């Protein structure tokens, strides 16, 4: 039986980041859902299904170890980012370099107003099209330097690296290969480890 399509709900009307932050703050105490603001639309995402959480956990651990030697700040999907593009996102895993962090002006209790250097999204049926298209464009325009798409079903990791004219075409890593980050230099992870059942 094929995987059921996970519904994703989007708002009909558009709002700005200030209205979005106010709306999310009013819901935090009673609402367990995850929300993003993409091109002015509020997008509600369902809880992840296996093996999404296991893959994100392994990737988060690898980023944690790399950050211990490289510095900067690593985050899981609970961290929101208000990007200069007008979008507010919650990547599965992200990292901000020491240089960007120094100029981030982080304020306790608010979304971070800086683009991460590294963003990792673990694909699921409900997010795959958006992560490959709309969010890829948002991250590229915001200045993300390394964007990884982890496809546990296909057992692959696609890495987009920013150049002078935005992201490259992306390189797909498959079984038996190891992915190295071009921005978080100590980070290296085997596709087989992340994409196992």
Here the CATH number for the domain that contains residue 83 is: 3.90.1570.10
Q: Is the pLDDT of residue 1 over 50?
A: no
pTM: 0.88
Q: What pLDDT, on the 0 to 100 scale, is given for residue 6? A: 56
Q: Cβ(145)–Cβ(127) under 8 Å? A: no
Answer whether residue 29 is part of any domain: no
Q: What is the mean pLDDT of the chain?
A: 91
Over range 33-49, report the average pLDDT: 84
Answer whether residue 92 is part of any domain: yes
Q: Is the pLDDT of residue 134 over 80?
A: yes
Answer whether residue 3 is part of any domain: no
Rounded distance between C-alpha atoms, residue 118 and residue 131, angstroms:
14
Name the DSSP class of 112: B
Answer whether residue 85 is part of any domain: yes
- Mean pLDDT is lowest, of 1-15, 45-59, 77-91, for 1-15
Q: Is the pLDDT of residue 2 over 50?
A: no
- Mean pLDDT is lowest, of 41-55, 77-91, 136-150, for 41-55
Q: What are phi and psi of 186, to 5 degrees?
A: -70, -10
Cα torsion through 29, 94, 67, 183, rounded to 10: -160
Q: What are phi and psi of 167, to 5 degrees?
A: -70, 150
Answer whether residue 12 is part of any domain: no
Answer whether residue 16 is part of any domain: no
CA angle at 194 for the pair 66 and 100, rounded to the nearest 5°: 35
Domain total for the chain?
1
Q: Cβ(131)–Cβ(121) under 8 Å? A: yes
Rounded distance between C-alpha atoms, residue 114 and residue 111, angstroms:
9
Q: Which residues pair with 148 in a beta bridge?
A: 120, 159
- Residue 8 pLDDT grade (very low, low, confident, very high; cuts 50, 70, 90): low
Q: Which residues contact 135 (CB under 8 A, 6 or more apart)?
A: 38, 89, 121
Answer whether residue 73 is part of any domain: yes
Over range 71-77, report the average pLDDT: 96
Answer whether residue 88 is part of any domain: yes
Segments forming the whole domain that contains residue 54: 47-194
């Amino acid at each position: 039986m094929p995987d059921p399509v996970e519904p994703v709900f989007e708002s009909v009307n558009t709002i700005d980041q200030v209205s979005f932050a106010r709306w999310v703050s009013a819901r935090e105490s009673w609402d367990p859902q995850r929300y993003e603001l993409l091109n002015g639309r509020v997008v509600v995402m369902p809880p992840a299904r296996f093996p999404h959480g296991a893959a994100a956990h392994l990737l988060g651990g690898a980023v944690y170890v790399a950050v211990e030697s490289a510095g900067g700040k690593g985050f899981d999907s609970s961290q929101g980012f208000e990007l200069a593009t007008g979008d507010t996102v919650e990547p599965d895993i992200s990292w901000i370099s020491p240089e960007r962090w120094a100029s981030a002006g982080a304020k306790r209790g608010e979304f971070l107003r800086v683009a991460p250097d590294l963003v990792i999204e673990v694909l699921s049926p409900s997010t795959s099209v958006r992560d490959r298209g709309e969010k890829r464009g948002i991250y590229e325009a915001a200045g993300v330097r390394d964007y990884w798409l982890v496809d546990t079903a296909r057992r692959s990791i696609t890495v987009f690296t920013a150049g002078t004219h935005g992201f490259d075409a992306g390189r797909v890593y498959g079984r038996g290969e190891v992915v190295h980050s071009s921005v978080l230099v100590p980070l290296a992870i085997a596709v087989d480890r992340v994409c196992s059942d």
